[in-house]
Amino acid sequence: MTEKDFLPGAYQKMPENGKVTWKAPSNIALVKYWGKRPVQIPANPSISFTLDACATTTSVTFEKKEKNDGFSFDLIFEGKQKADFKPKIQTFLERVEMYLPFLKAYHFTIETSNSFPHSSGIASSASGMAALSLCLMDIEKELNSSMDEALFHAKASYLARLGSGSACRSIKGDLVQWGAHKNIPNSSDLYGMEYPFKVNPVFKSYCDTILLVHKGQKKVSSTVGHQLMHGHPYAENRFEQAFSNLDKLKPILANGDLEEFIKLVESEALTLHAMMMTSMPYFMLMKPDTLEIINKIWEYREATKTPVCFTLDAGANVHLLYPSSDKEKVQIFIKDELAEHCENGQYIHDQVGSGAIKIND
Ligand code: PMV
């Protein structure tokens, strides 16, 4: 599909009002997206596990306006009006208006809440933008009932990408690939899609415990981090490495080769942070406790031969990845050894999920 496929024709009907609700999950990348060109076109392809417990639920109530003049919306976050989130939504609406020409015809009340604590340091932009995009697509489906499922999901992912890049990987599950790659048929820079190759059952129920090392605001945002890949001395090699890691991942995911999975995933996480440390200006998002946790994971893996590994997003938190068959013993290890490195001892047990769902009121 191309951008043109997302431009709708004339709408069949325009209901007076209505309400839609969607719940969209967060995701954690195995091969990382870091570096982009306008607007949210990734410098390299990426792949992620869709999560399950960490999710955003968003309801959009819409009511026909008298005049088609400008965007009109209220934003309610966890029960309270949230004026400081409004500029981000305004920018998003401006960006997607040409693909959703009904936007100025309605007043919207957007009510949103996260399953994880707001101050957890977990970015809610992926799940939040995915949930909002799905609500808007659901409204569009009411205006044009002939839209098929494939277009619905691809366009929801396309819109989510325009809101926040990695949000395009939060529509479907369980493994989502985003970014054009010559060896992955139908892959696109414009939207995420379900990983098209064989995936061993071990990965279908993989666990991810998010160790909340630092819950405060990050010193450097992802937006700034992506920009610093322009003119970065190692950028070209890094982008090539990501393309090649997607090739390498294909047999690993098919065969359930955990030893190779661990090497690739940990190397991706450390490469992401190495890019941050070698940017100009350079910066570091890992904290001393991030490194303590990584060392303990390595020691535990060596001593017990349990296939646990870590990955990192653009922050200090650590995602501990392990097969569900090892859940019991790994969760004891987390409680006894790793919790002490988390802010207020907090962590969240999550696992691979199956994508966003519509909630019927
Ligand atoms: O979607 P953004 O702009 O927040 O960037 C996400 C970047 C990483 O989380 C570090 C990697 C990824 O692929 O999700």
Q: Which pLDDT score, from 0 to 100, does residue 69 have?
A: 87
Question: What average pLDDT does the chain have?
Answer: 96
pLDDT single digits (tens) 244-270: 999 999 999 999 999 999 999 999 999
Taking the chain, what is the end-to-end CA distance rounded to the nearest angstrom?
32
| Top mutation candidate among 91, 157, 166 for ligand 1, by most atoms within 8 Å of CB | 166
Q: Which pLDDT score, from 0 to 100, does residue 216 have?
A: 79
Q: Which of 76, 68, 128 is nearest to 97 (CA)?
A: 68
Q: Which of 121, 158, 112, 127 is nearest to 3 (CA)?
A: 158
Whether residue 118 is predicted with pLDDT greater than 80 in this model: the reply is: no
Q: Six-digit token pair at 281?
A: 């200006």
Q: Give distance in angstroms: CA of 336 to centre of ligand 1.
A: 30
pLDDT single digits (tens) 29-86: 999 999 999 999 999 999 999 999 999 999 999 999 998 889 999 999 999 998 888 9
Q: Which pLDDT score, from 0 to 100, does residue 119 have?
A: 66
Instruction: Please state whether the peptide bond connecting residue 39 to the residue before it is cis, i.e. omega within 30 degrees of 0.
Output: yes
Q: How many CB atoms lie within 10 A of CB 360?
A: 6
Whether residue 355 is predicted with pLDDT greater than 80 in this model: the reply is: yes
Domain 3-198 belongs in CATH node 3.30.230.10: yes
CB contact at 8 A, 124 and 114: yes
Task: Tell me which residues have their CB closer than 6 angstroms to ligand 1.
Answer: 29, 32-34, 46, 123, 125, 164-166, 222, 226, 272, 313-314
| Top mutation candidate among 46, 162, 168, 313 for ligand 1, by most atoms within 8 Å of CB | 313
Atom in ligand 1 nearest the alpha carbon of residue 36 = 3
Q: Give distance in angstroms: CA of 38 to centre of ligand 1.
A: 15
356 conformational bin, left if phi > 0, alpha if psi -120 to 50, beta if neither: beta
Whether residue 120 is predicted with pLDDT greater than 80 in this model: the reply is: no
Atom in ligand 1 nearest the alpha carbon of residue 40 = 3
Q: Give distance in angstroms: CA of 264 to centre of ligand 1.
A: 17
pLDDT single digits (tens) 283-335: 999 999 999 999 999 999 999 999 999 999 999 999 999 999 999 999 999 99
Atom in ligand 1 nearest the alpha carbon of residue 33 = 13
Q: What is the mean pLDDT of residues 149-158?
A: 97
Domain ranges of the chain: 3-198, 204-351
Q: Which pLDDT score, from 0 to 100, does residue 174 have?
A: 97
Q: Which pLDDT score, from 0 to 100, does residue 218 have?
A: 83
Residue whose pair of structure tokens reads 């920009």 in the numeric block: 227
Whether residue 157 is predicted with pLDDT greater than 80 in this model: the reply is: yes
Residue with the smallest CA separation from ligand 1 atom 9 is 313
Q: What is the mean pLDDT of residues 138-145?
A: 94
Q: What is the mean pLDDT of residues 5-28?
A: 95
Tell me the CATH class for 204-351. Answer: alpha beta
Give the pairing of strands 207-211 and 347-351. antiparallel
Q: What confidence tier does 219 reach under pLDDT thresholds 50, 70, 90? A: confident
Q: Which pLDDT score, from 0 to 100, does residue 32 have?
A: 98
Q: Which pLDDT score, from 0 to 100, does residue 229 have?
A: 98
